[in-house]
Amino acid sequence: MYAQLVETGAKAVKTLDQMEPQERAFQERINAGIKTEPKDWMPEAYRKTLVRQISQHAHSEYVGMLPEANWITRAPTLKRKAILLAKVQDEAGHALYLYSAVETLGVTRDQTYLDLLSGKAKYSSIFNYPTLTWADIGAIGWLVDGSAIVNQIPLCRCSYGPYARAMVRVCKEESFHQRQGFDIMQALCKGTPEQKAMAQDALNRWWWPSLAMHGPPDELSANSAQSMAWKIKQNSNDELRQRFIDQTAPQIEFLGLALPDADLKWNEARGHYDYGAIDWEEFFNVVNGKGPCNQERLAARNQAWEEGAWFREAMSAYAAKQEQSDMQGAT
Ligand SMILES: [Fe+2]
Ligand SMILES: [Fe+2]
Distance (Å, whole) CA 35 – CA 29: 8
- Using the mean position of ligand 2's atoms as its centre, give its distance from the Cα of residue 177 in Å: 5
- Using the mean position of ligand 2's atoms as its centre, give its distance from the Cα of residue 129 in Å: 16
Report the pLDDT value the prediction gives residue 20, as an integer from 0 to 100.
87
- Using the mean position of ligand 1's atoms as its centre, give its distance from the Cα of residue 229 in Å: 26
The number of beta carbons lying within 10 Å of the beta carbon of residue 199 is 27
Report the pLDDT value the prediction gives residue 94, as an integer from 0 to 100.
95
For residue 141, what are the contacts with CB-CB under 8 A and spacing of at least 6?
87, 177, 178, 179, 180, 181, 182, 184
- Using the mean position of ligand 2's atoms as its centre, give its distance from the Cα of residue 213 in Å: 14
- Using the mean position of ligand 1's atoms as its centre, give its distance from the Cα of residue 290 in Å: 24
- Using the mean position of ligand 2's atoms as its centre, give its distance from the Cα of residue 36 in Å: 26
Nearest to 128 by CA among 217, 209, 74, 7: 209
Report the pLDDT value the prediction gives residue 280, as an integer from 0 to 100.
92
Which ligand has the shortest distance to the CA of 176? Answer: 2
> Which ranges constitute the DSSP H helices of 256-293?
280-285
Which ligand has the shortest distance to the CA of 147? Answer: 2
Q: Which residues have beta carbons under 5 A from ligand 2 (an ion)? A: 145, 174, 177
The number of beta carbons lying within 10 Å of the beta carbon of residue 48 is 17
- Using the mean position of ligand 2's atoms as its centre, give its distance from the Cα of residue 271 in Å: 29
Report the pLDDT value the prediction gives residue 306, as an integer from 0 to 100.
95
- Using the mean position of ligand 1's atoms as its centre, give its distance from the Cα of residue 39 in Å: 27
- Using the mean position of ligand 2's atoms as its centre, give its distance from the Cα of residue 73 in Å: 19
- Using the mean position of ligand 1's atoms as its centre, give its distance from the Cα of residue 2 in Å: 9
Distance (Å, whole) CA 292 – CA 289: 9
- pLDDT tens over the chain, length 331 residues: 566 666 666 667 788 888 888 899 999 999 999 999 999 999 999 999 999 999 999 999 999 999 999 999 999 999 999 999 999 999 999 999 999 999 999 999 999 999 999 989 888 888 999 999 999 999 999 999 999 999 999 999 999 999 999 999 999 999 999 999 999 999 999 999 999 999 999 999 999 999 999 988 888 776 778 888 999 988 989 999 999 999 999 999 999 999 999 999 999 999 999 999 999 999 888 888 888 999 999 999 999 999 999 999 999 999 999 999 988 877 6
Distance (Å, whole) CA 91 – CA 85: 10
- Using the mean position of ligand 1's atoms as its centre, give its distance from the Cα of residue 92 in Å: 8
The number of beta carbons lying within 10 Å of the beta carbon of residue 265 is 13
Distance (Å, whole) CA 123 – CA 30: 27
Which ligand has the shortest distance to the CA of 140? Answer: 2
Dihedrals phi, psi of 93, to nearest 5 degrees: -60, -40
Report the pLDDT value the prediction gives residue 134, as an integer from 0 to 100.
97
pTM of the full predicted structure? 0.90
- Using the mean position of ligand 2's atoms as its centre, give its distance from the Cα of residue 174 in Å: 5
